[in-house]
């Protein structure tokens, strides 16, 4: 059976360009960049090149790019690092209620340690209001952490408006950009954030590499220490092959994301319009306009998201019912809950994320089987039958 893979948020196939950039550093150029003999030279130069490529992808300079082992690590490093380094100033943090677990969980731990976290609400589209940020900042606030975009609902946050507020207040602003970097154009200077987390695998790079952008002059306490790597801010022998792959993917993304973004947004539009037309009691979630080009998200009433995913898989279609990081743990997405979507609707969440390999034919395949998959599930739902009797 031919597969229709629409779960690029969970895992994206490695770009051939990235793999090609990795292989020499898994074979002949295997040296440790910190070695001073000849074997260290090529790896050291390649790490510098990759750092430059990632810097250019987001409009930063290479000394502001720090490699980590994942976007999750970068988020942890930013939050714990800033909060601990500036605890003399205060113990208050502001975050949105729709952050990824790698932001929310470190913050929950800080709450247990005595820090005060203000969790900002979001509107029906999943957006934070900059006014709320302005209203809740106080002299004790050291950090605001609001993601650039949420990959479960696709909503892009008003990051630059929030940055204007944090800059005026002299508060650090961290943004989880795992869902956006390499997908939509980013100029970090224009956005105005002080820290940003990025993941290579979001844009065709390898798993196991991420980046924390740290604006020049921002002080933070390291979470992994004991070596001179990454300017002493993140110790551990560099994952040269992985970093090289991330560099190649960044270069590719910078050249292609504009056109690719338009193409994917077009396919998402087709998908969304098609489903809305064909399936009753189906809602598109997230912001209809300010959204990621490659994510189409829905809540399907009288349907269980997990069951729907499994039914689609029987037709060779791979999608997700929420974040893969939480797929095991939860039935109802906390993101949808924060948006005020009732539990009985939120449980029917389904997320399609498109990528380089996605074509119009994939969308047609999905549109041709999705309605009957939903119908099949609804037929066995007593709630749905009751509902139909009510409307009839």
- Residues between 301 and 320 that touch another protein (CB under 8 A): 306, 309-310, 313, 318, 320
Torsion of CA 215, 221, 224, 230, to 10 degrees: 30
Q: Does 106 help bind another protein (rule: CB under 8 A)?
A: yes
Nearer to another protein, 77 or 338 (CB): 77
Angle (nearest 5°) at CA 196 between 85 and 127: 110
Q: Which stretch binds another protein (CB under 8 A): 49-57, 130-138, 262-270, 321-329?
A: 321-329
CB of 212 to another protein, least distance (A): 12
Nearer to another protein, 241 or 250 (CB): 241
238-257 residues in contact with another protein (CB under 8 A) are 238-242
Site string for another protein, 340-379 (x = CB under 8 A): ----------------------------------------
Whether 325 is a known active-site residue: answer yes
Q: Does 236 help bind another protein (rule: CB under 8 A)?
A: yes
CB of 349 to another protein, least distance (A): 12
d(Cα 319, Cα 373) in Å, to the nearest integer? 13
Q: Does 10 help bind another protein (rule: CB under 8 A)?
A: yes
CB of 189 to another protein, least distance (A): 28
65-94 residues in contact with another protein (CB under 8 A) are 68-73, 75-76
- Can you give the length of the chain in residues? 392
The single residue among 259, 329, 391, 392 that binds another protein, judged by CB under 8 A, is 329
Distance of CA 297 to the CA centre of its chain: 14
Instruction: Let me know: does 323 contact 152? Beta carbons within 8 Å.
Output: yes
Residues 6+ apart with CB under 8 A from 352: 6, 7, 268, 271, 295, 296, 297, 319, 366
Tokens of 200: 């290579």
The single residue among 167, 278, 326, 337 that binds another protein, judged by CB under 8 A, is 326
Tokens of 124: 């029906």
3-class secondary structure, 227 = coil
Nearer to another protein, 114 or 226 (CB): 226
Instruction: Let me know: does 164 contact 191? Beta carbons within 8 Å.
Output: no
Residue whose pair of structure tokens reads 């605890």 in the numeric block: 87
Other residues' Cβ atoms within 10 Å of the Cβ of residue 24 = 16
The single residue among 31, 59, 90, 280 that binds another protein, judged by CB under 8 A, is 31
CA atoms within 13 A on the CB side of 147: 34
Tokens of 343: 């539990």
173-232 residues in contact with another protein (CB under 8 A) are 199, 201, 206-210, 223-229
Q: Which residues are catalytic?
A: 325
């Amino acid at each position: 059976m031919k597969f229709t893979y629409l779960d690029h948020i969970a895992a994206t196939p490695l770009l051939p360009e990235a793999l090609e950039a990795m292989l020499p550093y898994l074979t002949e150029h295997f040296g440790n960049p910190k070695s001073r003999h000849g074997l260290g030279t090529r790896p050291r130069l390649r790490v510098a090149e990759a750092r430059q490529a990632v810097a250019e992808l987001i409009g930063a300079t290479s000394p502001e790019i720090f490699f980590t082992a994942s976007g999750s690590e970068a988020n942890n490093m930013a939050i714990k690092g800033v909060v601990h380094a500036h605890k003399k100033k205060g113990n208050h943090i502001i975050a949105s209620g729709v952050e990824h677990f790698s932001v929310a969980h470190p913050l929950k731990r800080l709450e247990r340690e005595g820090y005060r976290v203000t969790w900002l609400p979001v509107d029906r589209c999943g957006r934070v209001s900059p006014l709320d940020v302005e209203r809740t900042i106080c002299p004790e606030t050291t950090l605001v952490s609001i993601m650039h975009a949420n990959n479960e609902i696709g909503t892009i946050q008003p990051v630059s408006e929030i940055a204007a507020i944090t800059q005026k207040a002299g508060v650090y602003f961290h943004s989880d950009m795992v869902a956006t970097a390499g997908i939509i154009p980013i100029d970090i200077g224009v956005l105005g954030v002080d820290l940003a987390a990025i993941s290579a695998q979001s844009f065709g790079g390898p798993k196991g590499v991420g980046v924390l952008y740290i604006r020049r002059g921002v002080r933070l306490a390291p979470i992994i220490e004991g070596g001179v790597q990454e300017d002493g801010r993140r110790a551990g022998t560099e994952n040269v092959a992985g970093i090289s792959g991330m560099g190649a993917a960044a270069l590719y993304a910078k050249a292609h994301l504009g056109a690719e973004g338009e193409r994917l947004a077009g396919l998402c539009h087709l998908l969304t319009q098609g489903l809305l037309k064909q399936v009753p009691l189906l809602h598109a979630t997230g912001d209809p306009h300010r959204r990621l080009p490659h994510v189409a998200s829905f809540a399907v009433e009288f349907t269980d998201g997990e069951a729907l995913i499994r039914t689609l898989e029987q037709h060779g279609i791979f999608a997700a019912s929420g974040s893969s990081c939480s797929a095991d743990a939860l039935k109802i997405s906390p993101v949808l809950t924060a948006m005020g979507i009732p539990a009985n609707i939120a449980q029917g969440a389904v997320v399609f994320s498109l990528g380089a390999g996605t074509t119009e034919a994939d969308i047609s395949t999905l549109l041709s089987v999705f309605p009957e998959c939903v119908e099949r599930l609804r037929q066995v739902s007593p709630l749905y039958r009751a509902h139909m009797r009510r409307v009839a």
